[in-house]
């Protein structure tokens, strides 16, 4: 028996060495983004592009695998108290920041306290503030997070909400200013991840080099990662075809077929959608005409749930939209949680396309030939697909006798209108990706700053609270199901379909694991040229 | 001459002031608050107020403009609202790329336009003239983005990556950053398609204009005299006719610089070039006021200076012209 165990151990060791030998070291990975990075302050900069950089420069307490398992990062282990209020993390002793200082419990406390500090203006504060009570340093390598109440998504939040918790170097944070970090000064942008920042030239490139003192010896395989912004998909495809780039993050779904035809050996990666494409209808408007006012009045058209359901539920042929706008490469969907997010339930059958039912509801609400329904559909020119969807909705609404005026504006103006309680009836956009349903509190509780439809139903908040506090996965799933049916019934949130996310890699790029928008990690990537 | 140049250079100041002021007011009057985009989903009204105060957006437009101007006089072009990067530094990184693109596109335009116009004028109403005129018409009709996409499809995809589709390689000694591609050949490869895409339209326009001027000039008495004196066709055309015919063309070339800067925005975006055009358009889209002002300032100066150079070339083309 003992001999068998020894043989097994030797076999595993040999297999490990052989597989490690198979990976080639060195080389430069050339990556293309479709959008520019806003700035390099990990705590405040908006946009996924920065997240995809930050998660390679920074390290956190833990990570997550595509199948949802939590894996150690700077923390080698952790325990959760039976009352689910204390999370204790034991840190590795050999983790260094790029500035040479040590990653210890004090640095973890510093990082979480920074997020909680309103002066930091961290976008993560929305999640941390309601649940984190305090952080305590038990010893240099042990840190304990005390929660205000049990929270079923603590590890999810630490691992992957936005870019996950990235541990900041207190030394670098105190030495350099916010402006230094935003501008991408390499000495100021310090992490403990596998790559260190070499240079960011806005509009041109971002360069990261291997951090030689990375705690996970042997990683990363690459010497360098160079990220360039190529906004035009045709140029992206040309650069890919010519072998000028190795990897495209967030490739436009409309061009996938063309790229496949041009590059039969390309690795085209996608999965179930985690981002919803929505056609949101405004529920309330400010009573006093002042945006964001707490005094609310019903929206003249869509405060009536019959009209919402007539237009948004039975009046929208989601399959047709997917066929025309996405060339079939998306899932028609109604639920508030996209198809790829855990605890999702397909409630699309509750809103199957039924123009007769839609017309009847409109008639019941007082709309018809005598009083035709007319509303404005607001969208932006950030992605051409929004306008295609808006046009199809206009056509579908016309079949119900409703007139839709499409207004296309630029993204910044659009953001101002929809997030700042500006005047709109309906808008089309693909919103933030959802790692968990809990993450959507940011956009849909009645009190959320970005509650764009401005619904005032506190039942929504109750559902979210119950869901977040439930520690038992089975019960949580049941709450999620009820909630999705409730939201489909009320239509405070109107999903059209999933919004697919594609990544494209050259055949020689190996070791990359697709994790949707959540994780774009180069640590284990190697080049087999 | 020196006085004239000095006077023209001084004229830059009111021109630039006027342009930057108009741009500033226009940017402030279009809807869209950059603070909303800057704060993203962490937006709160309290934070927005603080950020607006920090950037001076809470002050009247005129006050904001004079604050910007005051800093400019001290050499401070401000920092980008979104990226926090110094505007002047980013402008200096991007300016050489756009300047090279514009100069080479104008070169492309002239290389095509001059022979085509001469042939068209000398062989008026022949197949050669019709061909040159037709090509010119096609060139005028093709927008830069369309020409650019066609070139991409031919040279980068069709001919198996003969030319790089995007990015930039610097000429030796011009790399403004830590990491650069540096090579003369690489630079030529990268600039060829963008310069051609931008230059074709200008070539067509200049061909038509120069042909018309040439037709007028070759019918002049002094050309007849030159021929009567026994001068061969070559010196008559190149030395006497072309030089005079070029004067209106040169004027238009100067004015075309403005269009070239506009075209550079499209071409740089298409070919993902780190130039001033993409810098400007990104700034306008993001309502990055400081960056827009930097863009307006540098393009205004470039426009005025290039037109000054154009005016000075008149003295070379026509020695009778004297500036005092």
Q: Which residues 156-195 of B have a C-beta within 8 angstroms of A? A: 156-157, 160-161, 164-168, 177-179
Residues of chain B in contact with residue A443, where contact means CB-CB under 8 angstroms, are 41
Which residue of chain A is at minimal alpha-carbon distance from B89?
A: A201
- pLDDT tens, B188-227? 999 999 999 999 988 888 998 999 999 888 888 888 898 8
State how far residue B57 is from chain A, nearest Cα, in angstroms: 16
At residue A2 the predicted structure's pLDDT band, cuts being 50, 70 and 90, is: low
pLDDT digits (tens, 9 = 90+) for A271-311: 999 999 999 999 999 999 888 899 999 999 999 999 999 99
Query: Taking 90 as the threshold, does the pLDDT of residue A217 lie above it?
Result: yes
Residue with tokens 């990544």: A503
Which 3 state secondary structure label does DSSP give B131?
A: helix
Q: Determine the residue of chain B that is closest to A33 in CA distance.
A: B272
Within an 8 Å CB–CB cutoff, is residue B76 touching chain A? no
Output the pLDDT for position A465. 96
CA angle, A517 as apex, A511 and A518 as ends, to 5°? 80
Check if B291 contacts A (Cβ < 8 Å): no
Range B45-63 average pLDDT: 86
Q: Which of residues 42-81 of A touch B (CB under 8 A)?
A: 44-47
Nearest to A198 among B39, B178, B269 (CB): B178
Q: Rounded to a whole number, what is the distance in Å from the CA of B26 to chain A's nearest CA?
A: 15
Q: What ranges make up the beta strands (E) of B132-268?
A: none
Alpha-carbon gap: A199 to the closest alpha carbon of chain B (Å): 7
Supply the pLDDT for residue A1.
46
pLDDT value for B248: 84
The residue of chain A with its CA nearest to that of B274 is A204
Structure-token match 């000064």, residue found: A185
* Confidence band of A382 (pLDDT split at 50, 70, 90): confident
Nearest to B270 among A235, A242, A416 (CB): A235
Section B173-183 average pLDDT: 86
**Considering only residues 387 to 406 of chain A, which have any Cβ-Cβ distance to chain B shorter than 8 Å?**
none
Q: Rounded to a whole number, what is the distance in Å from the CA of A372 to chain B's nearest CA? A: 31
Average pLDDT, chain A: 93
The pair of three-digit structure tokens given for residue A292, joined into one six-digit string = 């964001």
How many angstroms separate the CA atoms of B185 and B168, rounded? 12
Supply A398's token pair.
């016309």
Residue (of A121, A128, A118) closest to A148 by Cα position: A128
Per-residue pLDDT, A14:
47
Q: Are A408 and A380 in contact (CB under 8 A)?
A: yes
Quote the pLDDT of residue A415: 87
Output the pLDDT for position A4.
Answer: 53
Is the complex ipTM more than 0.90?
no
Question: In this complex, do A410 and B32 lie within 8 Å of one another by their Cβ atoms?
Answer: yes
pLDDT by residue (tens digit) across A432-474? 889 999 999 989 999 988 899 999 999 999 999 999 999 999 9
Who contacts B103 (Cβ-Cβ below 8 Å, separation ≥6)?
Answer: none
**Residue (of A399, A90, A56, A72) closest to A226 by Cα position:** A56
* Interchain contact B29–A (C-beta under 8 A): no
Q: What is the mean pLDDT of residues A342-349?
A: 95
Best mean pLDDT range from A8-17, B42-51, B128-137, B286-295: B286-295
Question: For residues A156 and B247, which has the higher predicted lDDT (pLDDT)?
Answer: A156
**pLDDT at residue B44, as a whole number:** 79
Q: Which of residues 199-238 of A touch B (CB under 8 A)?
A: 199, 201-205, 207, 226, 228-232, 234-235, 237-238
Question: Could you say which of A181, A239, A415 has the minimum Cβ distance to residue B37?
Answer: A415
Pairwise CA distance, residues A134 & A130, whole Å: 11
Alpha-carbon dihedral sign for residues A291, A292, A295, A297: positive
Per the CB < 8 Å rule, is B272 touching A226? no
**pLDDT, mean of residues B297-304:** 86
Buried b (16+ CB within 10 A) or exposed e, B238-268: eebbbebbbeebbbebbebbeebbebbbbbb
Any B CB within 8 A of A262 CB: yes
Q: How far is A121 from chain B (nearest CA, A)?
A: 7
Q: Contact B161/A202, CB-based, under 8 Å?
A: no
pLDDT score at B176: 84
Which residues are paired to A406 by β-bridges?
A377
Q: Out of A39, A198, A420, whose CB is closest to B83? A: A39
In this prediction, residue B305 has a pLDDT band, given cuts at 50, 70 and 90, of confident
- Res A58 pLDDT > 70: yes
CA dihedral B167, B169, B175, B176 (to 10 degrees): -10
Q: Taking CB atoms and an 8 Å limit, are B285 and A450 in contact across chains? A: no
Q: In this model, does residue A105 exceed pLDDT 80?
A: yes
Which of A245-249, A260-264, A400-404 is predicted least confidently?
A260-264
Distance of residue A350 Cα from the nearest chain B Cα, in angstroms: 31
Rounded to an integer, the average pLDDT of B273-282 is: 91
Cα separation of the two ends of chain A: 44
Of A179, A203, A450, the CB nearest to B278: A203
B278 touches chain A (CB under 8 A): yes
Tens of pLDDT, residue by residue over A5-26, are 444 455 544 444 444 458 999 9
- Categorize the per-residue pLDDT at B244 as very low, low, confident or very high, splitting at 50, 70 and 90: confident
Mean pLDDT of all residues in B164-184? 88
- pLDDT for A17: 46
Mean pLDDT across chain B: 87
pLDDT at B125: 85
Say how far apart CA A513 and CA B268 lie, in whole Å: 33
Instruction: Give the residue-averaged pLDDT of A95-102.
Output: 97
Q: Please tell me the predicted confidence (pLDDT) of residue A287.
A: 94
Do A427 and A280 contact (CB within 8 A), yes or no? Answer: yes
DSSP class of B152: I
More confidently predicted of A255 and A72: A72
- Quick one: pLDDT at residue B195? 95
User: Are A239 and B156 in contact (CB < 8 Å)?
Assistant: yes
CB atoms A243 and B161 under 8 Å: yes
């Amino acid at each position: 028996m003992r001999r068998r165990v020894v043989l097994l151990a030797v076999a595993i060791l040999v297999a490990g060495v052989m597989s490690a030998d198979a990976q080639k070291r060195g080389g430069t990975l050339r990556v293309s983004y479709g959008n520019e990075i806003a700035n390099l302050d990990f705590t405040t900069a908006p946009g996924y592009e920065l997240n995809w950089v930050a998660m390679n420069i920074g390290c956190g307490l833990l990570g997550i695998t595509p199948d949802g398992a939590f894996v150690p990062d700077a923390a080698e282990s952790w325990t959760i108290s039976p009352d689910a209020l204390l999370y204790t993390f034991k840190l590795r002793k050999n983790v260094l920041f790029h500035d040479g200082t040590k990653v210890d419990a004090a640095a973890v406390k510093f990082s979480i306290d920074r997020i909680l500090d309103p002066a930091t203006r961290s976008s993560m504060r929305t999640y941390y503030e309601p649940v984190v009570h305090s952080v305590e340093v038990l010893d240099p390598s042990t840190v304990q997070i005390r929660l205000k109440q049990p929270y079923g998504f603590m590890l999810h939040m630490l691992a992957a909400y936005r870019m996950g918790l990235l541990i900041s170097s207190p030394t670098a944070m105190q030495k350099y200013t916010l402006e230094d970090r935003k501008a991408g000064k390499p000495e100021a942008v310090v992490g403990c991840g596998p790559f260190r920042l070499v240079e960011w030239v806005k509009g041109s490139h971002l360069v990261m080099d291997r951090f030689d003192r990375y705690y996970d010896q042997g990683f990363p395989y690459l010497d360098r990662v160079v990220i360039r912004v190529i906004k035009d998909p045709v140029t992206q495809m040309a650069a890919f075809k010519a072998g000028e780039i190795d990897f495209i993050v967030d490739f436009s779904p409309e061009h996938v077929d063309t790229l496949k035809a041009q590059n039969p050996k390309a690795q085209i990666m996608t999965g179930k959608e985690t981002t919803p494409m929505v056609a949101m209808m405004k529920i309330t408007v400010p009573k006093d005409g002042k945006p964001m006012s707490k005094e609310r009045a019903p929206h003249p058209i869509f405060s009536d749930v019959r009209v919402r359901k007539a237009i948004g539920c039975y009046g929208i042929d989601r399959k047709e939209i997917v066929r025309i706008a996405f060339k079939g490469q998306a899932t028609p969907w109604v639920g508030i949680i996209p198809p790829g997010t855990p605890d999702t339930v397909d409630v699309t059958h509750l809103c199957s396309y039924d123009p007769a039912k839609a017309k009847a509801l409109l008639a019941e609400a007082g709309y018809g030939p005598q009083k035709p329904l007319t509303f404005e559909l607001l969208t932006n020119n950030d992605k051409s697909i929004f306008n295609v969807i808006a046009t199809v909705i206009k056509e579908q609404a016309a079949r119900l006798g409703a007139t839709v005026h499409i207004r296309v504006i630029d993204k910044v103006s659009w953001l101002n209108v929809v997030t700042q309680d500006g005047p709109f009836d309906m808008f089309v956009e693909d919103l933030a990706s959802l790692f968990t349903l809990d993450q959507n509190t940011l956009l849909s509780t009645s009190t959320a700053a970005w509650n764009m439809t401005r619904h005032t139903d506190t039942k929504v908040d109750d559902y979210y609270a119950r869901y977040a506090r439930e520690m038992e996965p089975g019960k949580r799933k049941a709450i999620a199901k009820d909630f999705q049916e409730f939201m489909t019934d009320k239509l405070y949130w109107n999903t059209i379909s999933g919004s697919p996310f594609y990544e494209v890699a050259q055949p020689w790029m190996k070791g990359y694991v697709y994790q949707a928008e959540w994780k774009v990690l180069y640590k284990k990537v190697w080049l087999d040229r | 001459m020196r006085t004239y140049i000095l006077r023209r250079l001084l004229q830059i100041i009111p021109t630039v002031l006027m342009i930057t002021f108009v741009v500033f007011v226009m940017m402030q009057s279009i809807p869209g608050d950059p603070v909303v985009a800057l704060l993203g989903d962490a937006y709160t009204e309290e934070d927005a107020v603080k950020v607006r105060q920090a950037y001076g957006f809470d002050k009247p437009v005129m006050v904001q403009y004079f604050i910007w101007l005051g800093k400019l006089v001290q050499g401070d072009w401000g920092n980008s609202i979104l990226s926090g990067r110094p505007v002047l530094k980013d402008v200096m990184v991007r300016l050489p790329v756009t300047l090279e693109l514009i100069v080479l596109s104008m070169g492309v335009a002239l290389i095509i336009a001059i022979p085509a116009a001469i042939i068209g004028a000398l062989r008026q109403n022949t197949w050669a003239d019709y061909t040159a005129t037709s090509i010119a018409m096609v060139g005028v009709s093709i927008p830069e983005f369309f020409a650019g996409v066609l070139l991409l499809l031919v040279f980068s995809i069709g001919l198996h990556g003969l030319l790089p589709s995007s990015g930039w390689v610097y000429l030796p000694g011009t790399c403004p950053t830590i990491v650069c591609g540096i090579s003369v050949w690489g630079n030529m490869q990268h600039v060829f398609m963008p310069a051609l895409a931008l230059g074709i339209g200008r070539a067509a326009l200049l061909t038509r204009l120069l042909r018309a001027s040439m037709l007028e000039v070759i019918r002049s008495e002094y050309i007849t005299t030159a021929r009567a004196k026994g001068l061969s066709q070559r010196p008559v055309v190149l030395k006497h006719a072309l030089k005079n015919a070029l004067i209106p063309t040169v004027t238009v070339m100067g004015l075309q610089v403005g269009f070239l800067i506009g075209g550079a925005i499209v071409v740089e975006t298409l070919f993902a070039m780190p130039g001033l055009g993409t810098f400007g358009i990104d700034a306008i889209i993001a309502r990055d006021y400081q960056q827009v002002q930097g863009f307006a300032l540098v393009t205004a100066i470039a426009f005025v200076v290039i037109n000054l150079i154009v005016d000075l070339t008149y003295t070379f083309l026509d020695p009778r012209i004297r500036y005092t």
